A = this chain, B = another copy of it.
């Protein structure tokens, strides 16, 4: 059983310089309370692995605006001009990864694979400096796993075993990131008693979840 922790305790778990997987897609499905609190706490030199950096004032965008982030590994920054400005100013390193490759690289770290062999990016700039592997006459890029210190997840419901479910397009990277970090912190929209989420509806088994952020005061 996992006791839910207050938001400020979750924030204290995450030090400056941490590498964080952050769930969400343009802010949908992100752990919004946790991201806001991290921005307010003035964390710095974070590495953020996520689909995108949302937009200014929303989700990961708050961390970008507050100067918390040193590096991002993302598929897209097109809707956050601040990320682009800070990239050009040399304040943030940006590694752009094709979205499907990004999710597979995170999954590889989570399920113990040595890397990802993908056709995506072959012959493009994405292939620069990367090894290739031939399988049955076809060429694939070897893309490396991405593990993180923390996975910061937005979930729909959570029980006190730590089981999570997700809803609609708020799934996105969350279920995969739950597998690929040393410490997994979930921010659910709702906490429910054990047994309310039936076994077939659980999408992240509680064994993967280290901390659950409690209800708002």
Contact = CB atoms under 8 A, between A and B. Distances in A.
A192 interface: no
A140 interface: yes
A135 B140 contact: no
Interface stretch (A3-11, A49-57, A165-173, A178-186): A165-173
Contacts of A108: 117
Contact of A114 (B117, B144, B167, B199): B117
A201 interface: yes
Contacts of A113: 104, 116-118, 140
Given A133-B133, A133-B142, A135-B142, A117 B115 contact: yes
A171 to B, nearest CB: 8
A199 B166 CA distance: 11
A115 B144 contact: no
Interface of A: 104, 108, 111-119, 133, 135-136, 138, 140, 142, 144, 165-168, 199-201
